[in-house]
Structures are given as C-alpha cells and as structure tokens.
Amino acid sequence: MKINVNIPTGTSGDFEIANYSNETTDNNWQTYLSMKDETHTNYIVLLKSNCVMPIMQDSEAEYNEHQWLWDNATGDVLIGGLGIGLVNQVLIDNPNITSVTIIENSQDVIDLVWEHCSKDERFTLIQEDIE
C-alpha cells in the first residue's frame, strides 16, 4: 500500500520537495527503488542538499515502516519530524487518537510542507530539535 501526499514542489534553504518517478536517476533514487522493491511509478520526495538519498518519500516502503505506529497509536501521539506529512492522514482517520504533536527542527521543512499536509484540530506543530 502507498499513501499519496499532495505537497507541491518547491525549495526552501537546503530542502526541496520534488516529484520523482521510477525513471528518475537523481540522488541514488534507482538504488532506493531496487533496495525497497518499489512498484509504483510516481513519488513525492523530500531532499536535503547534503544527503545522498531522499530523506522521506511517499513510497510503499515508508508506509510499511510506519505500519506499527498506525496499528498501535492511541491517545496523545508524539511524532519526531514532519517529513512530507505521510503519517498524518492515517492518524486523522484513527478515532482513538486524542492529539498529535509533531516536532520538526527545520523551519525550511515546515515552510515547504505544513501548509499543504493533511491535519485537523488535533494536530500541533512545534519547531524544535526533538533531541
């Protein structure tokens, strides 16, 4: 399964939101696709200028890696990193979630993603280092 996010492309500081396909060769994307055995054709990715691969993408592998969270989340949920807002819609759909607090260190990521990602009145974003 894959969750499609609707974040527009753009750049802020060292971060970029880009559209990748299964044909994209930038940032070791083909290596990622082969390691994760991805079958979809289009992706939204979050890039950081000094990283050799995207740091977040709306891929099936990301979905699978977050499955435990979605299956077990109840009450007040704390998320480390906004990314591309991938986890948000599933948390919105969970009636057992009371609140979601997302801690994001980078104002650039916030500027690129927060306005466009899924959220409801239970979501709070704090710009801070989670460490």
- pLDDT given for residue 35 in this prediction: 87
Please give the model's pTM, rounded to 2 decimal places.
0.91
In degrees to the nearest 10, what's the CA dihedral of 65, 26, 7, 103? Answer: 50
**Domain boundary assignment for the chain:** 10-57, 69-127
Angle at alpha carbon of residue 18, lines to 33 and 56, rounded to 5°: 55
- Over the stretch 28-48, which tens digit does the pLDDT of each residue have? 888 888 888 888 889 999 999
The answer to whether 53 and 75 are in contact (CB under 8 A) is no
pLDDT score for 36: 85
Instruction: Give 50-107 pLDDT, tens digit per residue.
Output: 999 999 999 988 888 889 988 899 999 999 999 999 999 899 999 999 999 999 999 9
Closest to 11 in 3D by CA, of 108, 117, 78:
108
3 pLDDT band, cuts 50/70/90, is confident
**27: confidence class by pLDDT, cuts 50, 70, 90:** confident
Q: Which amino acid is at 118?
A: S
